[in-house]
Chain A
Amino acid sequence: MDELIQQLANGITKGSYYALIALGYTMVYGIIQLINFAHGEVFMLGAFIGLWTFNLGASTFGWGAGSLVALFLVLLAAVLLTPLVGLGLERFAYRPLRNAPRLAPLITALGASFALQQLVAVFYTRGFPAYPKLFPDGSIMIAGAQIKYLWIFMVGLALLLMLGLAAFIRTTRMGKAMRATAEDRDTARLMGINVDMTIALTFIIGSALAGVGGVLAGLYLGQVNFFMGFIAGLKAFTAAVLGGIGNIAGAVLGAFLLGILETFGARYLGGQWQNVFAFAILILVLVFRPTGLLGEKVGA
């Protein structure tokens, strides 16, 4: 029983950063029906931006482990800088192809994903740099399972951001514009909505969330790698599909569910099958319930 709860906690924690990536996937898919393969790379860059910010801070201000100021600034840097990547992708790779045959932007997304990965690999490192332990160590026992404070922080932050995003989309004018654009781009334009800007905004928000996810994943895993975005992105996409693509609550639900299923799968089938398990879930969901658990929603 303790074991079960421990695995559950692990799975939920993993799910929290999957959720942050899945939100960006689902928003972009909802608004322009594009699988943004490069989104996983934005997540990876978020983690690396966090790492670089910390290294900079450590050498100039002497930041050390467990510094909450450093954690805040690292997260801030990721939130501010990753949207530039997403924006650049949208502006230079996807926007020119918005009316091209559907295969074209997909291949572009793939190429961009590759290029971003390799940029980090070539110009920074192919290794596995250790991530600073910015969050205070320590844990709490809940029902016989050891829960780290970091895990609570991650899940809390992910849920908070998701609620904020949902509120933004539901209540603000810009959120309304996003919903309208997702529903019908041409009509939205006729209604005076700046469609290009709205799509760019979607990329900005999605990238910022993925950036936070990257930092959290770095804290959780303890190391980062240029390749981390590929698998994580694939899993986040699985989560988005699992929950119903275009559906924000669905993405988060799917992410937590996937995290839990994957952790249990790894526990009982052996760790080397963990990724096979996740992809098998993806294929099964697509085959048997392609609309996902909560159903697809085009209007974000």
Chain B
Amino acid sequence: MKDNYLWDRSGEPDPEVKELEEILGPLRYQPRPLEIPRDIRVDRRRSFFPAMAIAAALVLFAVVLGLWFSFNRRQAAPLNQARDSRTDQNASARPPQVAPDNQASPATVAVSSPKPMAIQKRESPRNLLARNMGRGTRTQIRQPGLTPEELAEKEQVLVALRMVSAKLNLAQRKTQGVPQLNPIRNQHKIG
């Protein structure tokens, strides 16, 4: 076929193609030696594979570490909440008490933790004092290294400080001439 001759010079030669080959043949590439100047430097192939592999491994490690931390934190959060609620229940069930003398474990003391302050209305110092006294033992802070006697003394000091604070507040109100809050209630109490 003539088409085959154009494609790969097989088959019956196409006269037109043959003629074109003969006409254009003299323009063919004439071999010339390649003169390579000495100053041409052939750079070595730069393989970025090891560097890329190390970088990818580091990134992967960081991602896995991050995931592990976040997973652990998520798991720890419900456990802490459960522990806190359990502690609250125990604390409200039992009155604050001092551990026995011979107890070797780290002593625990019931310390009233401050509530989130959202007081809208000012109350009388006595009420505040009563509330603080009655404020239970929300959290138990572990204080290692204190003996039961020391803890009891500490508790007394704290109560005394609260009373002093309340009295100072009362005195300040009186000196500033601020009317007492809820006088009827006070009168009723006095009466």
A and B found bound together: no
- Residue ranges of B at the interface with A (Cβ–Cβ < 8 Å): none
- Residue ranges of A at the interface with B (Cβ–Cβ < 8 Å): none
